[in-house]
């Protein structure tokens, strides 16, 4: 899955893939894979990138035209778990419903709502397709 505006955001800053590779540190081919959708950027790395350049996650995921944020994004698994649960319930879905969309087990998905693991980037991309309107930034605020 591709983070829609990763490449455009990098080019807007007049950066090369090698510049991004040095920040993380990863290879240029890894950055290329993230930008083309061959590979999925880990959420921790995407948040690090967003914080470094003040980008909105909603913009990077292609959900909003608002490019920038004023504050850093912090990963709080408990807060994220609560917001994922509230989002699912407000959309009248069961954990099993969401798990089917994500092509995972209900027990696997439950780990994200129970603050055991950070939800993967690819799952967030899929959630943007089943929950409308949806803000990834709101999950971390």
Q: Tell me the pLDDT tens digit for each residue of 15-50.
A: 999 999 998 899 999 999 999 989 999 999 999 999
Decide which of 55 and 132 is more confident. Answer: 55
Give CATH 1.10.260.40 domain extents, the chain: 77-139
Pick the CATH number of 6-60 from 1.10.260, 3.40.50, 1.10.3470, 1.10.287: 1.10.260
**CATH top-level class of 77-139:** mainly alpha
Count of beta carbons in the 10 Å neighbourhood of residue 18: 10
Provide the pLDDT for residue 60: 94
């Amino acid at each position: 899955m591709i983070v829609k505006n990763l490449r455009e955001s990098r080019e807007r800053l007049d950066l090369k893939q090698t510049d991004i590779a040095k920040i993380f540190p990863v290879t240029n081919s890894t950055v290329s894979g993230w930008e083309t959708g061959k590979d999925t950027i880990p959420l921790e790395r995407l948040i690090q990138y967003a914080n470094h350049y003040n980008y909105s996650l909603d913009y990077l995921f292609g959900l909003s035209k608002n490019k920038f944020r004023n504050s850093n994004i912090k990963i709080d698994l408990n807060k994220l778990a609560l917001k994922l649960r509230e989002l699912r319930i407000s959309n009248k879905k069961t954990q099993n419903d969401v798990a089917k969309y994500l092509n995972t087990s209900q027990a696997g998905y439950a780990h994200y709502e129970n603050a055991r693991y950070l939800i993967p980037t690819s799952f967030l991309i899929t959630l943007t397709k089943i929950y409308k309107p949806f803000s990834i930034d709101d999950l971390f605020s």
